[in-house]
Structure 1
């Protein structure tokens, strides 16, 4: 195995903590236990976390809980407010409502009503212009698929989606894939934040490639496992100005009537080896994968 340099080891530990937080928002996330996960003392871990991510551990956890809750309020309009609160780690409706209003300026109920009523006009904060005519995402075929766990190597990205993210794939990810002989492998775009809720500069995304568990390559990459289980998979074909609309349709139109609900696994786009890409029009194919469980 290639030995990591000191900075790469720090990055691996900190990203391990982020993954643990994102997949356990309904659990107690104490400083001491997260510090142990990162193999740092609590005192040093707290300072390191703030230095790496620009917000304290407490601020990050609270923001993630509230933004995930906001997403679930929209995607699951029949889910009780208390259940939304519990699913992201709040112990009561009252505590959740206070924190939510402090973050979004309104109550969870009012947020849900406003977002659902305006969902057809809801526009993400992507750095992209809307398509001249909305794609008919109602014709996008959605199936429930049981996926196996998948080992991936990924390069993390933080910032606006849209053109900046496309440039990251072309200028950073593609050369790294070529260096490591990864062309011809399935790729994944793992979105950790909803661009319609989180600030553009806080959006986190992992550009991932399927690799063997024992993969040891060049570059400052991280390793993870995409969890297996049930996913709602939508077959998408279009441009990067339409894929955001497709995500919104799946989460805000298809999901509420599907008999399924979200869980804590990550959302991602799957780019199979045979997926097409038209360099002239920018049209591409992918599978939009949303982790679900029965209601």
Structure 2
């Protein structure tokens, strides 16, 4: 396969995921994504299936249900119908059916505590004894950030290789003085680590035709400062979603939380990191 073809196929997959996450609350069709990527529906469907091992429908459904499962736990003042709508389900009954098929519980049961049995084995993989309760955030509006990025499936130490590739891209395109940003689309309490969607990104000040581009939108954020070692970020995200957020008077949105590194343990060769975690929020009531 030619280098140009490989690049095009990767771009189509990246643009697809970006579009889905950005438009999660809307109806998303094969027609519009094929048109967006300037290929036929047949060709687009084949590329997605070959590159991801999933159909477009399976990808959209998985992203919607993972997001819904998290919002049911964090957004206590939103109704199940409101959460279903925010995740792209126009029918309450179809949402309940899909959710139960995926998580073996109804949304109501999940919200009332059924998620604990589902999450038990996941939590055992990264136990923590750290107390994060003394870390208080600053609430502020953060401006949009344009980035180039590489997606990494899973949360593991191989993320280091993804960051190294991103640094090579920055060097080849003469991108300097950039912010190092990681987007965390999934809650590791309810998504297996090998399935978590991690995005390594660097800020840019202009468009590059040969690079994948995304924009983190302007939003109201709870901004936490955190220092630690590998694994602490996941535990802190777990704390923020399950302890801080439900008691804060805020709810989260469909925008993923993200971190901006002051010291990135994946790139420095050291064990420790220093970062700020940005959690997009809205007033609960």
Query: Which TM class, normalised by the smaller chain length?
Result: 0.7 to 0.9
- Residue 210 of structure 1: how far off its partner (Å): 1.0
- Residue 174 of structure 1: how far off its partner (Å): 4.0
Partner of 2:134: 139
Residue 274 (structure 2) pairs with residue 285 (structure 1)? yes
After the TM superposition, which residues 182-193 of structure 1 pair with which residues of structure 2 at under 5 Å, given as runs? 182=175, 184-193=177-186
Q: Any conservation in 2 of the 1:123–1:196 contact (CA below 8 Å)?
A: no
- Bigger helix fraction: 2
- Residue 9 of structure 1: how far off its partner (Å): 2.8
Residue 252 (structure 2) pairs with residue 258 (structure 1)? no
Q: Any conservation in 2 of the 1:130–1:241 contact (CA below 8 Å)?
A: no
- Residue 164 of structure 1: how far off its partner (Å): 2.5
After the TM superposition, which residues 1-295 of structure 1 pair with which residues of structure 2 at under 5 Å, given as runs? 5-114=4-113, 124=122, 129-131=126-128, 134-158=129-153, 160-169=154-163, 171-182=164-175, 184-215=177-208, 221-272=211-262, 275=263, 282-295=271-284
Q: TM-score, normalising length from structure 2?
A: 0.86
**In 2: Cα distance, 1:43 partner to 1:225 partner:** 29
**In 1: Cα distance, 2:51 partner to 2:127 partner:** 34
- Residue 259 of structure 1: how far off its partner (Å): 2.3
What CA deviation, in whole Å up to 9, does each residue of 1:161-190 have, x standing for no partner?
Answer: 132324543x43444445555464211011
**In 2: Cα distance, 1:252 partner to 1:18 partner:** 26
- Residue 116 of structure 1: how far off its partner (Å): 6.8
**In 2: Cα distance, 1:262 partner to 1:23 partner:** 15
Give the 3-state SS of the residue equivalent to 1:25 in structure 2. Answer: coil
**In 2: Cα distance, 1:118 partner to 1:141 partner:** 29
Question: For structure 2, which runs of at least 5 residues remain unmatched after alignment?
Answer: none
Give the 3-state SS of the residue equivalent to 2:158 in structure 1. Answer: helix
Q: TM-score, normalising length from structure 1?
A: 0.84
**In 2: Cα distance, 1:293 partner to 1:173 partner:** 32
**In 2: Cα distance, 1:65 partner to 1:276 partner:** 30
**In 2: Cα distance, 1:38 partner to 1:276 partner:** 34
What CA deviation, in whole Å up to 9, does each residue of 1:61-118 have, x standing for no partner?
Answer: 1111111100111112332111111111112332211111111111112222226767
- Residue 280 of structure 1: how far off its partner (Å): 8.6
**In 2: Cα distance, 1:109 partner to 1:207 partner:** 34
Q: How many residues align?
A: 281
Question: For structure 1, which runs of at least 5 residues remain unmatched after alignment?
Answer: none
